[in-house]
Amino acid sequence: MMCVLVTLILGIPPLRADGLDGRFEVRSADLDLKDGVYHLNVRLDLPIGDAVRRGLAEGVPLTVELHLDIERVRQLWPNSHVAELTQRYHLQYNAVSARYILRNDNSGQQESLGSVDAAIEQLSEIRGLPVLDKALLSPDRRYEASVRAKVDYGTVPFSLRVVMFWVNDWHRESDRYTWTLQP
């Protein structure tokens, strides 16, 4: 609190984190049935501006987390929880190879990409992620699937978090994207 008072008294402009620009949201999502397994497809709108691009090029990490919920819709009772999955992706520049490394933290699978634009495009379009066995859903029931995404840009040291407590650009969470699933 003392830092804020000193900043106001001395007339020093407050620090502004050059975080994520624009609105972060799930643009579309669906589940495709293939070989008895539902696969998640998600399209994200990542608000990546010049400041984040520069930060990525300097080694600042970007993490995207997808959270999927599937519930059975019921009339008189609360919906019944069927499945839940959290999938985490980590993007960071590797100066030794001069490549952007996109890692699926859940599976350990990595992909090496040559440009920040290719890496952001790959991170924005998640395709064919296996999430649920068909046998877990009854064909005569109605289900609701929803996905929410979170993004974290970099790691802010504790000393800066104390001074910049009002800045929320380092972490964003999308609204839930919900759709009906009829097996």
Return the structure tokens found at 57: 């090029």
Convert the pLDDT of each residue in 45-72 to its tens digit.
988 888 788 888 888 888 999 999 999 9
Per-residue pLDDT band for 90 (boundaries 50, 70, 90) equals very high
pLDDT, position 91: 93
Measured between alpha carbons, how far is 38 from 128 in angstroms, rounded to an integer?
A: 9
Tell me the β-bridge partners of 44.
26
Measured between alpha carbons, how far is 2 from 105 in angstroms, rounded to an integer?
A: 39
Q: Please determine, for residue 158, whether its predicted confidence score (pLDDT) is greater than 60.
A: no
Question: How crowded is residue 100: how many other Cβ atoms within 10 Å of its Cβ?
Answer: 24
Q: Which residue has the higher pLDDT, 19 or 61?
A: 61
Q: Please determine, for residue 94, whether its predicted confidence score (pLDDT) is greater than 90.
A: yes
Domain boundaries defined on the chain: 2-181
Reading phi first (left if > 0) and then psi (alpha if -120 to 50, else beta), residue 161 is in: alpha
pTM of the entire predicted model: 0.77
